A and B are shown apart, each in its own frame.
Chain A
Amino acid sequence: MSLLKVSNIVAGYGETEILHGVSIAIEEGHVVTIIGPNGSGKSTLLKAIFGLIKPKKGQVLFQGKDITGLAPETVVRRGLCYVPQSSNIFPSLSINENLEMGAFIRTDDFRQRLEEMYLLFPDLAGRRKDRAGTLSGGQRQMLALARALMLDPALLLLDEPSAGLAPSMVGSVFEKILGINRSGVAILLVEQNAREALKLSSWGYVLASGRNQLEDRGENLLNNPDVARLYLGG
């Protein structure tokens, strides 16, 4: 049984249909990457999985249970967390409060988890009381990751965590992602830095115009000349 199984999702915004039947799957503990040109519907797919938009057709199974069309505040209680592509922190809240919001549904004492996050992201530790809006781009991405990790999810959906970062920061973001995965969290990754992402991935999907175009083991996609020419910058 796959950890997450998405079958034939049809979804869009209002009348506009963006996804015309997309299917993906990810196994427990794996990293799976979705690549594809801008506007191909990668972010829309993650929103449809997490319930920010309601799929018109298709099914989303998480740990064998149907979560299709559930509201995001319900989905997050099933054990998956999501870092959106943009606006993925609360800028007027302090860094500590951002993490507290990440743990909003926890009723137990999560102080230990909080300290683990500050160990994992030492840049944030010194600035607990600062407004998150004052962080640099790279630090914001770290905070967005930390917020989503507060629940210790079984699956993390990451939408372009390295977008817009300085090249030096990109490497450290991927390092963190690898570390998170090694601690047992499965990761569904959408990335523009396709080469870096596929290196970490056991499996990859290519999405084009809202449809599955290609899927294969990560290394095979890296070595596929068509994929290289179209999506990996030659």
Chain B
Amino acid sequence: MTTTSPRTQRLIPKWNASYSVVAGFLILLILGFFSIIKLELMVNGLFLGAIIALGAISLSLIYGILNFAHLAQGDFMTLGAYIALFLLGTLLPRLGLEGAGLGPFTFGYPVFIALPLAILAMAAIAIGLDVTIYRRLRRRGVSKVLLAMTSLGLAIALRGAVQVIWGGDTYQYPRLSKEFYQLSMGIRIPPDNLFIGAMTIVLVVVLYLFLTRTRIGKAMRATSDNMDLARVSGINTENIIKWTWALSAGLAATAGVFLAIFQAQLLPIMGWRLLILLFASVILGGIGNLYGALVGALIIGVAAEVSTQWLNPAYKIVIAFVIMIAALLIRPKGIFGVKD
């Protein structure tokens, strides 16, 4: 056929393999009711999954447009979290914006100033890095492997920068409350997690609407499908690439801030550690597929948390990989992989 596409993945697929995933969660729930699995771990695993999902989607966006594995994405998360730390812990208090607790959450309203600013800062940093580093390499036509290696170097450099600026100690965002919601069946949920879950749902819906309803969003998907044809249609793909970096780094910064809230601590290595789970989610869901990344992340998040019932938390990553490999043996293109 003359019109085969260079890509076999689509950014937004139809709702197809989702039934098996829903069934999987139902089975877990039933196991939970018979107390074989602690429901608390499952529920909080979903929240971890939400954070992983934001990171995994941000990774997929870059992969979809630029076609390489961006290994600095985890450190984008870290840097975003630390920028928010600077705002919440230093700058905003100095400006007198400290705020009392906001309902049951550990944080106050300054989060709603710090998070958007951290998102904007990371978007600007990512565009800056693209213009100074990645665009130059692109114009020389370097391979995907070299781009990925460059991003590995950038990951190490960013982590180094965080360590130089903030030191290696652990930090926390200012904490204003320590409540827990006590649900039935012994499930304790930190209220912060509900905020994280709700915000993730909002962001995913907004991203979906952006990609399917707006001119730029559609052009982004077109560029992901076929960059040459996008240019032939008059789309300035360099602008699309900037949009992609901004969106991706903004999501990564959000994931980083949420991770810092979820773990109640910041570490220079936090994003890098999570990166492996991001990749497991992306591969599990089907590379380059946003919906797959989302579902993959929820599965990996729940599995990682539930595993701590029996295993040392250090094995979370191993569990993620066992699940990923098992799923790939059954569906080599990932749960939502499609063959065109």
Contact = CB atoms under 8 A, between A and B. Distances in A.
B143 interface: no
Nearest to B12: A92
A79 B9 CA distance: 32
A87 B225 CA distance: 9
Given A92-B221, A101-B218, A133-B340, A72 B10 contact: no
Contact of A73 (B1, B6, B224, B237): B237
A1 interface: no
A41 interface: no
Nearest to B236: A73
A102 B222 CA distance: 11
Contact of B222 (A81, A82, A93): A93
A16 to B, nearest CB: 14
B96 interface: no
B12 to A, nearest CB: 7
Contacts of A85: 2
A170 to B, nearest CB: 12
Contact of B229 (A90, A141, A164): A90
Contacts of B222: 90, 93, 97, 101
A191 interface: no
A21 interface: no
Contacts of A141: 2-3
B215 interface: yes
Given A73-B231, A104-B234, A164 B2 contact: yes
A91 interface: yes
A101 B340 contact: no
Contact of A87 (B6, B218, B219, B235): B6
A165 B276 CA distance: 45
Interface residues of A, number: 35
A119 interface: no
A84 B218 CA distance: 21
Interface in A66-80: 71-73, 76-77
A105 B340 CA distance: 29
Contacts of A50: 232
B303 to A, nearest CB: 29
A104 B215 contact: yes
A52 interface: yes
Contact residues of B: prevailing secondary structure:
loop
Interface in B230-249: 230-237
B182 interface: no
A144 B5 CA distance: 13
A29 interface: no
A77 B224 CA distance: 22
Nearest to A147: B233
Contacts of B10: 91-92, 131, 133
B226 A87 contact: yes
Given A93-B222, A100-B218, A133-B340, A52 B231 contact: yes
Contacts of B218: 93, 97, 100-101
B3 A137 contact: yes
B306 interface: no
A77 B231 CA distance: 11
Given A87-B229, A90-B221, A104 B235 contact: yes
Nearest to A50: B232
Contacts of B237: 73
A93 B219 CA distance: 10
A38 interface: no
B132 interface: no
B20 interface: no
A158 interface: no
Given A52-B231, A73-B236, A101-B230, A91 B219 contact: no
B179 interface: no
B225 to A, nearest CB: 4
Max chain B Cβ within 10 angstroms of own Cβ: one of A84, A104, A105, A164: A104
Contacts of B224: 92
B7 A91 contact: yes
B221 A76 contact: no
Contacts of A90: 221-222, 225-226, 229-230
A91 B231 contact: no
A90 B237 CA distance: 15
B304 interface: no
Given A85-B2, A90-B225, A92-B9, 12 more contacts: A73-B234, A88-B229, A90-B222, A93-B222, A101-B219, A104-B233, A131-B10, A137-B2, A141-B2, A141-B3, A144-B3, A164-B2
25 contacts: A52-B228, A72-B234, A73-B232, A73-B235, A81-B232, A82-B232, A84-B232, A86-B2, A87-B5, A87-B228, A87-B229, A88-B229, A89-B3, A90-B225, A91-B10, A92-B9, A92-B224, A93-B218, A100-B215, A101-B222, A101-B233, A105-B233, A133-B5, A147-B233, A164-B2
Interface of B: 1-7, 9-12, 14, 215, 218-219, 221-222, 224-226, 228-237, 340
What are the 10 A-B residue pairs with the smallest beta carbon separation, nearest first? Answer: A92-B10, A105-B234, A91-B5, A164-B2, A72-B231, A90-B225, A140-B3, A76-B234, A163-B2, A133-B340
